[in-house]
Amino acid sequence: MSTNPRSVPRWAKRPTWRALLLWLLPAAFLGYFFYQPLLALFNLVLTGGSPGQGLGLGVFNLARIWGPLSFTVGQAVLSTLLTLIIGLPGAWLFAHYTFPGKRILKTLTTLPFILPTVVVAAGFNSLLGPRGWVNLGLMALLDLPSPPIQFLNTFGAILVAHVFYNTTIIIRVVSNAWSQQNIRLQHAAQVLGASPWRTFREVTLPLLKPAIFAGTLLVFLFNFTSFGVVLMLGGPQYATLEVEIYIQALHLLNLPLASALSILQLLCTLAITLGHNRVSGLGDMVISPSARTIVTRKPRRAIERVVVILLVITLFTLLVTPLASLAARSFVKLEPTRGERGEVERGLTLQFYRELGVNRRGDLFFVPPIMAARNSFLFALITIGITLSLGLLVAYAQMQTTALNKILDPLLMLPLGASAITLGLGFIIVFTRPPFSLLRFPILVPIAHSLVALPFIVRTLTPALSNIPASLRNAARVLGASPLRVWREVDLPLLAPAILVSMIFALTISLGEFGASTFLVRPNYPTLPVAIFRYISQPGALNYGQALAMSTILMLACALGIFVIEKTQPSSKDNM
């Protein structure tokens, strides 16, 4: 490749043209695989499923739409309030104090957020379900014939699982903002005679409000679009918009109504996402060199030590116990005895893991769970390749100073406002014709995973790329390096940590994606989350044990990913 600048066409030096060339492939990918299915949903609503009928007003049965919508909003509001009750004290804890195991606990509090919903459901099932540790213990202790706690298929199960999932968002967002506050402002208020409560109310809280509002909207968004938790823990009597779309599309085959619900949900989530983006920008702090941020310390007074211990126990119990019970339960076999009351014998076993590759029933259509794990990792590798390639192109395009980025960037982020259920429904409406209907390998599954993961990957790569000093590239060019060599020996080594984090994000998102996969997977190509859902829904101790074994494998894969991400982040003393 020639290094002579004059050999480059003049039009190629313009930022707009460079950005356009870099955006070309990502825009085509989004247009074909996201916006085409989205327009198909709108068209199905407008035609009512019959192109010659005009506007399909028949799908707008207000009673059938208002019920799921009102329940979705109600459970999201209540779940968000409960998450704030747990998360804000946790944010205060991590922003102000150091204690043994703080970094480990902070990593463990992050793990629930990236876990697949089926794993979360299996965790609470193993802890509080009919065959869970708590019920088995109470039955043995109190000599009861049946489980005393009815946790599954209750509204409380949905709320607890949502708090489990989203507490880490409040902890991370608010504790970061809290720890960056200028402590001199609080000292000045106290010198002027303000009490600690008034200092918090008039100094600390106003500075925290943008972070609290941003975290609250983000938690509300995830609760609003919840699918797996409601489906597996709430039962059929609790139907959010996501669950109702799933039921109408796959069980009742009412695609017009499912499309109408999908569009309604998309509009709601877009409004929430725009509100979050607007609020989150207000929380950016500029810390002057003379500012003193909060320095974490060990609790000194007795009341401080008691509060810290209680908060640590609460967070550990809520966020770690279900996962620990899941892993432990996958190694325990329960067998009924011949006693009158039907007691059970407990014993450690690896049977559930060995059975993952065994076809006990001799079913011709049986797909071993271990093959589902292979499928999931294969889909994840394809997702990594797609998202990393497109993400790098978009990141370099956004480095160009042009108005084109302001137009295309929101279009790239729009998949964040569309739920995976909506995406899966759009796919089965559009891509049921050749060439996709003729393919034996379900390529649409990793493509759907890529659409979900791409915005996260871009938001990870773009800041890392913008932090590379232009002087390093200029120096390499002056020394005669070609553009390819500049990228290979300057950009790539500096981007390596961000690329690694992006790969792990894509891996964990693909491994745990459940909503779109329920629409797109084929019987001979199940993913791990779909297989877990199938096995945990079937009766029998062996099916239940295999579901827990698969959930444990998936949990360990996600835990390894979050561990690597934490290791790549800059460490600080207060994390120790």
Highest mean pLDDT among 43-47, 200-204, 363-367, 393-397: 393-397
Question: For strand 344-348 and strand 332-336, is the pairing parallel, antiparallel, or unpaired?
Answer: antiparallel
Highest mean pLDDT among 75-89, 117-131, 309-323, 491-505: 75-89
For residue 151, the SS3 value is: coil
Q: Is the pLDDT of residue 339 over 50?
A: no
Q: Tell whether 443 is covered by a domain.
A: yes
Tell me which residue range forms the domain holding 430.
21-47+64-285+292-334+374-568
pLDDT average, residue stretch 88-99: 88
Q: Tell whether 494 is covered by a domain.
A: yes
For position 292, what pLDDT does the model report?
62
Lowest mean pLDDT among 104-108, 178-182, 328-332, 435-439: 435-439
Q: Is the pLDDT of residue 324 over 90?
A: no
Q: Is the pLDDT of residue 29 over 70?
A: yes
Highest mean pLDDT among 18-32, 42-56, 76-90: 76-90
pLDDT average, residue stretch 260-268: 81
pLDDT average, residue stretch 371-395: 90
Q: What CATH number is given to the structural domain containing 116?
A: 1.10.3720.10
Lowest mean pLDDT among 18-27, 281-290, 566-575: 281-290
- Specify the number of domains making up the chain: 1
Q: H or E element: which one contains 364?
A: none
For position 287, what pLDDT does the model report?
46
Q: Tell whether 11 is covered by a domain.
A: no
Looking at every residue in the chain, the average pLDDT score rounds to 79
Percent of the chain with pLDDT over 70: 85
What is the tens place of the pLDDT at every residue in 511-539? 888 888 888 888 778 888 888 888 887 77
Higher pLDDT, 570 or 312: 312
Q: Tell whether 474 is covered by a domain.
A: yes
Q: Is the pLDDT of residue 151 over 80?
A: yes
Rounded to whole angstroms, how far apart are CA atoms 65 and 300?
55
pLDDT classification of 279: cutoffs 50, 70, 90: low
Q: Tell whether 347 is covered by a domain.
A: no
516-552 b/e (C-beta count within 10 Å ≥ 16 → b): bbbbbbeeebbbbbbbbbbbbeeeeebbbbbbbbbbb
Q: Tell whether 259 is covered by a domain.
A: yes
User: Which tokens go with 130?
Assistant: 């009919």
Q: Tell whether 353 is covered by a domain.
A: no
For position 3, what pLDDT does the model report?
45
pLDDT classification of 370: cutoffs 50, 70, 90: confident
DSSP string, 80-101: HHHHHHHHHHHHHHHHHB--TT
Question: What pTM value is reported for the model?
Answer: 0.79
Q: Is the peptide bond before 435 cis (omega within 30 degrees of 0)?
A: yes
Q: Tell whether 68 is covered by a domain.
A: yes
Gyration radius from the chain CA atoms? 26
pLDDT classification of 446: cutoffs 50, 70, 90: very high
pLDDT average, residue stretch 100-110: 82
Q: Is the pLDDT of residue 78 over 90?
A: yes
Rounded to whole angstroms, how far apart are CA atoms 379 and 508?
11
Lowest mean pLDDT among 58-62, 81-85, 523-527: 58-62
For position 388, what pLDDT does the model report?
93
Lowest mean pLDDT among 41-50, 66-75, 198-207: 41-50
